[in-house]
Amino acid sequence: MTAAAPDRARKTSWRRQSVLPGFNLTLGYTLAYLSLIVLIPLAALAIRSASLGWTEFWAIATDPRIVASLQLSFGAAILAALVNTVFGVIVAWVLVRYRFPGRRWLDAAVDLPFALPTAVAGIALATLYAPNGPFGAFLEGVFGVKVGFTSLGVVVALIFVGLPFVVRTVQPVLEEIDRETEEVSATLGAGRLRTVTRVIMPGLLPAILTGFALSFARGVGEYGSVIFIANNLPFQSEIAPLLIVIKLEEHNYAGATAIATIMLVISFAMLFVINLLQAWSRKWFGHD
């Protein structure tokens, strides 16, 4: 008995004692599940690409065609996520704040990019934005901009698949925002713009960052819709996931995993930075 007491104290020193049991079970489950679904496959990927050896790996990483595809993949994903952040917040705002006929239909339609097979989206977008499609012809005729079968088409496809992420993360937070703080702001003499930027936006920032991160991550990984709307020319509109598929078709498994590993590292680094930003914004704006 006496020997068990200090042992118990040591065991619980790094976590708070709780009257509600379940910590061990749930943590164990979480670790096992995460390992099985996420960590082990990713580790296998890293090990496989490690079989290449450093010089060979470096040769792949600096291959101009691969660098160009990575630039396009990440650049387009960031651009699409930025566009989605702006318009997703507006969509969420309209859905939360206004009551109008057809609101529920619109609300449901936001989820369509989730549900649709991305190839279907790609074909639909390609039809619209192709040089002879209705949108494509208009844009090329009026502004001289080619969208279909170019890198711009990649961005359009990524905007399409990423939109629900921003809307669905911002919407519930916006619903929680207290109308009274806006009313107080108005009585204190603040105009609408000042109220939105100084009172509403700071509270929304963490949710907006999350939406941006999710939309970005989705864009980096997107494959199905992009290959239909882009003409997939190397150095122009070839995305990194497509290059991975090409390497696989060439039975160059090591090459494919090398590109995959590079993508993994960059994605992880970016998501990590976004998480830091989020933590910082929470602290700065006094959430919790």
Using CB under 8 A as the binding criterion, the count of chain residues that bind another protein stands at 22
Paired tokens of 180: 């009274």
Of 64, 180, 249, 251, the residue at the interface with another protein (CB under 8 A) is: 180
SS3 label, residue 15:
coil
* Least CB distance to another protein at residue 95 (A): 17
Closest to 166 measured CA to CA, from 219, 235, 99, 102: 219
> Residue 212 is inside which H or E element, if any?
helix 201-221
The nearer residue to another protein, 102 or 286, going by C-beta atoms, is 286
**Nearest 10 degrees: Cα torsion 111, 115, 116, 117:** 150
Closest to 163 measured CA to CA, from 151, 152, 155: 155
Q: Give the per-residue contact string, 256-285, with another protein (x = CB under 8 A; - = no).
A: -----------------------------x
* Least CB distance to another protein at residue 212 (A): 19
The nearer residue to another protein, 101 or 189, going by C-beta atoms, is 189
Q: Does the footprint of another protein cover residue 64 (CB under 8 A)?
A: no
φ, ψ dihedrals at 208, nearest 5°: -65, -40
Taking the C-alpha atoms of residue 3 and residue 250, their distance in angstroms, rounded to an integer, is 64
* Least CB distance to another protein at residue 178 (A): 6
* Least CB distance to another protein at residue 195 (A): 9
Q: Give the per-residue contact string, 182-201, with another protein (x = CB under 8 A; - = no).
A: -xxxxxxxxx--x---xx--
Q: 264 and 70 in contact (C-beta within 8 Å)?
A: no
Of 202, 221, 224, 234, the residue at the interface with another protein (CB under 8 A) is: 202
Q: 225 and 160 in contact (C-beta within 8 Å)?
A: yes
* Least CB distance to another protein at residue 64 (A): 46
Q: Does the footprint of another protein cover residue 250 (CB under 8 A)?
A: no
* Least CB distance to another protein at residue 82 (A): 23
* Least CB distance to another protein at residue 214 (A): 23
Q: 175 and 96 in contact (C-beta within 8 Å)?
A: yes
Query: According to CB under 8 A, which residues from 160 to 179 bind another protein?
Result: 178-179
Helices (H) and strands (E) in the chain, counts: 16, 0
Q: Does the footprint of another protein cover residue 286 (CB under 8 A)?
A: yes
Paired tokens of 135: 């949108």
Positions in the binding site for another protein (CB under 8 A):
178-181, 183-191, 194, 198-199, 202-203, 285-288
